[in-house]
């Protein structure tokens, strides 16, 4: 069902370029990896523009044990607890310990985190499932912007690193044994380009656009995960997708995330009747793990026959709110909501992938020459549920490790030039497909059948529909970015649906209504998939 390549290419007529390292993705993981490769020729490609990343949009902050009252061991314990027993302890240990040094390093490079009014200490905030305040934030609620700006200054000081925007990855290129680069669509010149590289680092983020309701930028369609999967790379933990509980919900308004830090600073959740309800669902109430809060909101909406619940900040100091959350305050005000006086209508949206390209603790994938870091990767650090604000720390820590190990790979593998093969897949030239309608159908089916609450029958229904769609979706050879994105989304939906169907229990972000409890005897383990799985009948 799943082809090796999405396009047929005549290598004689395709422009090409050679670099030592190709990094795909310009967020925190890709930028941090690039720093480790100083002295080598590095190209960072961005699908759209430089600031179009999950990192840049990150509001809340970075979880790190820098608070004098905190420790890496406490951070480790909280991460393991939220991950519901299937985190990789070695990866978590690296995250919480290396993370301290990576954040200190970032501060040395000019990143300015917010301090208390006296300016003598950092202003740590509380978020869900953390045992104490350990979240560093910047510019109030614009932590991602501050981090990206600081990393870009560092990267720009290294002359061998170049950044290319408007480069969409169509496919990774392999010589049969090793990844040797990527085929890109250059939107600036409307042509296809081959970038040959001695090593490739995937750092392109998640795949939130597979869902109808998501906080992710429109560019986050899982292109690297799908391209790697086509080459035989292992995907892992794909059933575990995190939904953020509090996203602005108004007709016609973009799905704008309302940071968990808002609840950490004292906001409460109320239903359409004005009743606080989280005490019914968890003793930590609004600061329960994200999966618990998301399911509680869905059930409260169902119980009250409403399409949202509300965040209530009205008992908080108005001046504090404006200063602490300037981005959220100004965005909501544009749509007529003064969050110091008005309730904020919210509901959960797809937010973060715990699963992705399987890697070891150095970012190495199952295919030589390909490394992965950040949300695109799955190190096992998150387990079944990500602890709030661990994502930026993960990008820093494992971006640095992937960059360092990729440099070692280059030094040990002096491969010569590589001739781009002529790719050919069977296709039906006359086949017509409405890409917009197909994307809409994928998003709707994912949201309905593989969303916050899942059920075996609904998952089976989704897989049956995907099997039907798969009979023709890869017969069409697309020549546009939206077509390639649609095929990538289809692949990831297919893997995620099977992973969710096979895991007959509830654990963390994966909740099955027909199997509402965890089953450690059978399922205290992680699932992996390669495309060979889909060569046989699975249902």
d(CA 378, CA 389): 16
Q: What is the DSSP string of 84-103?
A: TT-S-HHHHHHHHHHHHHHH
| DSSP string over 31-83 | HHHHHTTTTS-EEEE-SS-TT-SHHHH--S-EE-TTSTT--HHHHHHHHHHHT
Cα-only R_g, the chain: 22
Contact partners, residue 131, CB within 8 Å, separation at least 6: 74, 77, 78
Annotation marks residue 230 as catalytic? no
- Which residues lie closer than 8 Å to 260 by C-beta, 6 or more apart? 60, 127, 128, 244, 245, 246, 290, 388, 389
State the burial class of residue 479 (Cβ atoms within 10 Å of its Cβ: 0-12, 13-18, 19+).
exposed
* 193 within 8 A of 181, measured Cβ to Cβ: no
The CB-based long-range contact list for 282-288 (8 Å cut-off, 24+ gap) reads: 284/128, 284/129, 286/128, 287/126, 287/127, 287/128, 287/129, 287/263, 288/128, 288/129
Exactly one of 198, 230, 263, 290 is catalytic; which is it?
290
- List active site positions: 290
């Amino acid at each position: 069902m799943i082809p090796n390549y999405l396009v047929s290419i005549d290598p004689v007529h395709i422009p090409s370029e050679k670099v030592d390292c190709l990094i795909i993705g310009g967020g925190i993981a890709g930028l941090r990896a690039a720093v480790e490769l100083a002295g080598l020729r590095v190209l960072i490609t961005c699908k759209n523009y430089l600031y179009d990343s999950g990192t840049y949009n990150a509001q809340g902050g970075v979880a790190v044990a820098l608070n004098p009252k905190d420790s890496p061991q406490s951070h480790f314990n909280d991460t393991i607890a939220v991950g519901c027993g299937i985190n990789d302890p070695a990866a978590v240990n690296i995250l919480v310990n290396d993370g301290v040094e990576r954040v200190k390093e970032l501060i040395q490079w000019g990143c300015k985190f917010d301090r208390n009014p006296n300016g003598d200490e950092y202003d740590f905030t509380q978020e869900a499932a953390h045992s104490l305040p350990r979240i560093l934030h910047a510019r109030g609620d614009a932590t991602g912007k501050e981090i990206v700006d600081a990393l870009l200054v560092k990267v720009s000081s290294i002359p061998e690193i170049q950044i290319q925007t408007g480069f969409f990855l169509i496919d990774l290129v392999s010589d049969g044994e090793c990844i040797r680069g990527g085929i890109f669509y250059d939107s600036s010149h409307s042509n296809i380009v081959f970038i040959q590289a001695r090593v490739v680092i995937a750092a392109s983020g998640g795949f939130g656009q597979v869902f109808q309701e998501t906080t992710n930028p429109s560019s986050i369609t899982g292109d690297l995960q799908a391209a790697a999967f086509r080459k035989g790379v292992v995907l892992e933990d794909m059933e575990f997708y995190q939904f953020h509980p509090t996203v602005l919900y108004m007709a016609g308004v973009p799905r704008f995330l309302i940071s968990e830090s808002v609840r950490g600073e004292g906001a409460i959740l109320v239903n359409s009747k004005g009743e606080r309800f989280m005490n019914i669902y968890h003793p930590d109430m609004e600061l329960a793990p994200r999966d618990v809060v998301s399911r509680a909101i869905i059930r409260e909406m169902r119980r009250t026959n409403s399409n949202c619940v509300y965040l209530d900040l009205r008992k908080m100091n108005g001046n504090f709110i404006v200063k602490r959350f300037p981005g959220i305050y100004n965005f909501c005000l544009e749509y007529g909501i003064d969050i110091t006086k008005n309730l904020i209508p919210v509901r959960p949206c797809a937010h973060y992938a715990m699963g992705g390209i399987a890697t070891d603790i150095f970012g190495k994938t199952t295919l030589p020459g390909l490394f992965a870091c950040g949300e695109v990767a799955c190190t096992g650090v998150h387990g079944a549920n990500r602890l709030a604000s661990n994502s930026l720390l993960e990008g820093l820590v494992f971006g640095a490790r992937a960059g360092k190990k990729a440099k070692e790979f280059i030094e040990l593998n002096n491969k010569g030039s590589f001739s781009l093969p002529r790719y050919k897949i069977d296709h039906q030239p006359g086949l017509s497909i409405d890409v917009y309608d197909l994307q809409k159908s994928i998003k709707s089916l994912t949201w309905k059948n593989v969303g916050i609450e899942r059920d075996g029958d609904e998952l089976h229904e989704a897989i049956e529909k995907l099997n039907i769609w798969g009979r023709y979706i890869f017969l069409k050879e697309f020549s546009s970015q939206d077509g390639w994105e649609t095929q990538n989304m289809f692949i990831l939906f297919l893997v995620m649906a099977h992973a969710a169907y096979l895991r007959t229990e509830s654990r963390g972000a994966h909740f099955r209504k027909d199997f509402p409890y965890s089953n450690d005897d059978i399922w205290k383990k992680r699932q992996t998939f390669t495309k060979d799985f889909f060569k046989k009948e699975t249902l």
